[in-house]
Structure 1
Amino acid sequence: MVPSSPILGTMLHAIGGVSASSCYVPYQKTKDWSWGTFWLVQAMFAWILMPLIIGFITVNDFFTILQNAPSRAIWGAFILGAVYGFGSMSFGVAIRYIGYSLTYTLAIGISAVVGTVLPLLLFGGLTEYFTGPGGLTVFTGMLVSLVGVAGCGWAGFRREKELAAGSSGSGRSTMSVGLILTIIAGILSGVFNISLEYGQPIADMAAAKGSGHFQGNAKLIVSTAGCWVVNVTWFLVLGIKQKTLREFTKKSGIAANRMLRNLVWSALAGTMWFFQFFFYGLGHVSMGRFQFASWVLHMSMLIFFSYIIGVVMKEWTNIRKATYFLLIVSLLILVTSFVIIAYGSMA
């Protein structure tokens, strides 16, 4: 039995949030590569290489556990991970249309609700969790979190409207496409938490082998493998159609040192994506009987830090003071929700 520590769990979710909110920043450093080429490399590191390497290092009898895991857990986690794969693609493209801040707010906000409520409905325990000691406080914190998410979303919409007013062109159509992709990404991203829940028997096997807080690394590779299969199939076909796969070769005319830097930046992006769920797994175990709150806590952390990243990347320049003030207040509400959830989890 792994001892719970909600404060530690909250801190671990925060670290995961930092990693997740900045994992696409390295794309800005890649030059002469298409989005698909970057995505193929980051996907390999995010969903195959890093889960395998870290799983092997941290989980006792890692491959034996995967070999002997129940088929229902394997296939359930894999298929739902594949469903999430479509969401991850939509998310990545949406960022290019409407920016980091708004994409993260809407997609992750939707994901926080879907990923928290659906597992409780599917696997049971919705009433029991919220009526036990500290349950009402945690529920209040989750509601406060959603208020903060809504405020950030409102600020994001105001920002887009103000920026569009100062420019000409197809801003409205770009915004519409970005919003549609973001909604799809949000719904399907919530499915990833359900995928992890389906894989819980695999984590339980790792716990029985003495993996402790690292038990979640045993099931993660199954969910991410499903995501990877969908992504690599899509982008390989797209790369063949658009003839961008040559960007991996000398025939592209890209200098060798530039190619190496692109590989490093893309690998870093994938590694950072993986570490969001590495720390999610650690934080999830640490939350004890309030593990159900992990998803909304983790997603709220992600939104909070994505806005910090957006400010650093100067996405919030040339906007009205009232909009910026709304953003600051919303971020403070999110911080308050973190404190409430952590406090309630200690009951």
Structure 2
Amino acid sequence: MQTVLGVFFHLIGGVAAGSFYMPYKKVERWNWETYWLVGGLFSWLIIPPIMAWLTLPSFWELIWSMPPATLGYIILFGLLWGIGGLTYGLGIRYLGLSLGNTVILGFSAAFGALVPTIYYDFFPKEGKTTFNELISSTWGQVILLGILICLLGIAICGKAGMMKEKQLPQKEQSKTNNEFNLFKGLSIGLCSGILSSCFNFGIEAGQSLAESAVAAGMNPLFQNNATFVVLLWGGLTLNLIWCVSLNIRNKSFGDYSDLKKPLRKNYLLCALAGTTWFLQFFFYGMGESKLGNGATGWVLHMSCIILVGNIWGIVLKEWKETGSRAKITVGTGIFVILISVALLGYGNYLRSI
């Protein structure tokens, strides 16, 4: 039952992650940096402490009771994760949307899942899964198989996306491919994927904070919420600097207060987008409380984002003009990812019995 709940919470988180950008599409006459920063303030600064307060009433006391080094590591990983998010856009620029997503999310899934287990091989910690345990146990081998199949599913979805892009009208292809650069794209994609996985490393670094919450009698289901508050400070810092610099460069500070623009509507839409974005990690934390922070949760999170993103693409008829081969390919990719989710869940079930 714990495994089923864990997978279910990760699926809800994936729905939030795959859907958060939809409200941004309705924002009118604001520059990207304006609505990204307004939504980001809700994502990184406003909603996390509210959710922590609702679920862990004394979360501030828990945070300030942590050693400065622990808080420093959590913030550092948040900063690195923020860099990964910013370089994500460059990876998409040089590789295109489909191939870029495949490379970046694939690297993020693999590194975020496996690097912590390798780390614990060298620096053991009670209750933490090591890579040696994964390769030497039946449940671990099932999880590793699930990870490999997930990466295969991501690659198949990426192939379908490339097929779709090739079938775009020539005018649209030129817009998409005029900056294509495989070497730059793969290099930046590798960097972005590794750094994006630092969010999972930040959760691992904050395990003592989560454990303190449980020891204080708080609901274990929400044990990661205090960690998210600190971790997202790092992401906020980098994105704040970047967006304000773009406001200065593009002279777009007027967006925030120009009464000729639909301010109330835009602020509400950004608040909705930012809140939905944070819910991915709120439910991620709930899923991890059921599965245990480790290799499985991060891969589930990445695979659910890809699943939901592709499903949204189908719902919004983005594949309407593509041929049957591309549609069959994306359907195959989604099916393979679903198999990987089932395997990851089964591996955790084997571990629990």
Determine which of 131, 134, 138 is the counterpart of 1:126. Answer: 131
d(CA) in 1 for partners of 2:173, 2:145: 43
Determine which of 248, 260, 265 is the counterpart of 2:264. Answer: 260
Structure 2 match to 1:140: 145
Determine which of 299, 302, 305 is the counterpart of 2:305. Answer: 302
Flag the 1:183–1:148 CA change in 2: closer, same or farther, 3 A: same
CA RMSD in angstroms comes to 2.3
Asked whether the equivalents of residues 101 and 307 of structure 1 are also in contact (C-alpha less than 8 Å), the reply is no
Flag the 1:99–1:282 CA change in 2: closer, same or farther, 3 A: farther
d(CA) in 2 for partners of 1:267, 1:149: 30
Flag the 1:101–1:311 CA change in 2: closer, same or farther, 3 A: farther
The range that moved more, 87-96 or 34-43, is: 87-96
Identity of aligned residues (%): 33
Q: How many angstroms does 1:6 deviate by?
A: 0.9
Q: How many angstroms does 1:101 deviate by?
A: 5.3
Asked whether the equivalents of residues 225 and 282 of structure 2 are also in contact (C-alpha less than 8 Å), the reply is yes
- Return the TM-score normalized by structure 1: 0.90
- SS of the residue 1:346 aligns to: helix
Letter in 2 for 1:191: C
Determine which of 323, 328, 333 is the counterpart of 2:336. Answer: 333
Structure 2 match to 1:66: 63
Q: How many angstroms does 1:238 deviate by?
A: 1.5
d(CA) in 2 for partners of 1:232, 1:155: 35
Determine which of 195, 214, 221 is the counterpart of 1:213. Answer: 221
d(CA) in 2 for partners of 1:42, 1:98: 26
Asked whether the equivalents of residues 81 and 223 of structure 1 are also in contact (C-alpha less than 8 Å), the reply is yes
d(CA) in 1 for partners of 2:335, 2:93: 27
- SS of the residue 1:169 aligns to: helix
Structure 1 match to 2:85: 88
Structure 2 match to 1:241: 249
Flag the 1:201–1:242 CA change in 2: closer, same or farther, 3 A: same
Q: How does 1:8-157 map to 2 (within 5 A)?
A: 8-91=5-88, 103-124=100-121, 125-157=130-162
Flag the 1:99–1:56 CA change in 2: closer, same or farther, 3 A: farther
Deviations 1:218-262 (A, max 9, x none): 111111110001100111121022111110113xx534xx11111
Structure 2: tracts of 5 or more residues without a match = 122-129
- SS of the residue 1:319 aligns to: coil
Asked whether the equivalents of residues 100 and 310 of structure 1 are also in contact (C-alpha less than 8 Å), the reply is no
Letter in 2 for 1:294: G
The range that moved more, 150-159 or 84-93, is: 84-93
- SS of the residue 2:178 aligns to: helix
Tell whether 2:276 aligns with 1:285.
Answer: no
Q: How does 1:145-184 map to 2 (within 5 A)?
A: 145-163=150-168, 165=170, 167=172, 169-176=174-181, 179=185, 182-184=189-191
Tell whether 2:316 aligns with 1:313.
Answer: yes
d(CA) in 1 for partners of 2:93, 2:203: 28
Q: How many angstroms does 1:161 deviate by?
A: 2.1
